[in-house]
């Protein structure tokens, strides 16, 4: 007997048979391969819509923005795993991607959610004031704000906001991020930069991507950046040195000794 619940299961992404592949209602071979860029396909798969030229420019810029930032947890992990499993590049990249989250590279999701909530309030400034106070009281960073290296401002953020203005996508969410920034600076008593993930959250919302899907943009972009680290590790290995440096910098301490 067929489970009636199973008959309700469906997908609108893709199907394939002996002679064809269909992706979101489009002929994959004749309509998409060679006709759409990688970024266009990302937007299409995430939203089931063709991006407008401004939306595509924003998505491209965000993918490039988060692709590389030197030595980060993701690049360190990838280098060490590549050193351990030199013939398994996919494992090294996957291991690095597991570091994308609430601390590094994935904070745009939280920032985007705050901006979406602000849009629902009659007085977003008052809402942001209360919200930031809660973060301050619990000693939690406000998603999308602050940076351990870039001070007073993350140089990537103004470039992204300038692109939004250029593309005519500096609308309601850009206004909201500036309101939120005012409340963050007021609550903390000093200037905290809107960092790259905060700017990206704002622009992705303007481009029609909801907060719940934003972290996937980080994952896609970081995968490309980590591929570069794998390539360099193959030519100029440093993973072993990273491992040995940890042993040197963190010596064993006998717990029995005072």
Residue 88 to residue 84: CA distance in whole angstroms: 9
CA–CA distance, 161 with 169 (Å, rounded to integer):
9
What tens digit of pLDDT does each residue of 105-164 get? 778 999 999 999 999 999 999 999 999 999 999 999 999 999 989 999 999 999 999 999
Secondary structure letter of residue 32 according to DSSP: I
Full set of structural domains in the chain with CATH = 1-35 (no CATH), 43-247 (1.10.230.10)
pLDDT in tens, 7-19: 688 999 999 999 9
Percentage of residues of the chain with pLDDT beyond 90: 88
> Cα(185)–Cα(188) distance, rounded to whole angstroms?
5
Helix (H, G, I), strand (E, B) or coil at 87: coil
3-class secondary structure, 16: strand
Give the global pTM: 0.91
Phi, psi at residue 23, to the nearest 5°?
-125, 115
């Amino acid at each position: 007997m067929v489970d009636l619940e199973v008959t309700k299961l469906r997908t609108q992404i893709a199907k394939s048979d002996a002679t064809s592949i269909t992706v979101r209602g489009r002929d994959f071979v004749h309509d998409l391969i060679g006709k759409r860029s990688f970024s266009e396909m990302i937007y299409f798969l995430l939203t089931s819509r063709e991006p407008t030229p401004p939306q595509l420019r924003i998505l491209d810029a965000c993918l490039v923005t988060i692709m590389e930032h030197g030595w980060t947890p993701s690049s360190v992990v990838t280098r060490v795993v590549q050193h351990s499993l030199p013939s398994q590049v996919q494992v090294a990249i996957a291991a690095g991607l597991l570091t994308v989250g609430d601390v590094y590279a994935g904070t745009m999701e939280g920032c985007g959610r705050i901006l979406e909530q602000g849009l629902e309030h009659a007085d977003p400034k008052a809402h942001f004031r209360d919200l930031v106070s809660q973060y301050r009281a619990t000693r939690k960073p406000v998603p999308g704000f602050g940076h351990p290296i870039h001070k007073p401002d993350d140089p990537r953020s103004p470039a992204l906001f300038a692109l939004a203005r250029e593309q005519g996508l500096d609308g309601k969410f850009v206004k909201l991020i500036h309101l939120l920034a005012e409340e963050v600076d007021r609550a903390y008593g000093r200037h905290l930069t809107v960092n790259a993930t905060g700017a990206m959250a704002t622009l992705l919302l303007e481009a029609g991507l909801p907060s719940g899907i934003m972290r996937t943009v980080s994952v896609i972009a970081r995968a490309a950046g980590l591929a570069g680290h794998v390539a360099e590790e193959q030519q100029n290995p440093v993973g072993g040195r990273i491992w040995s440096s940890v042993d040197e910098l963190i010596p064993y301490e006998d717990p029995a000794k005072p």
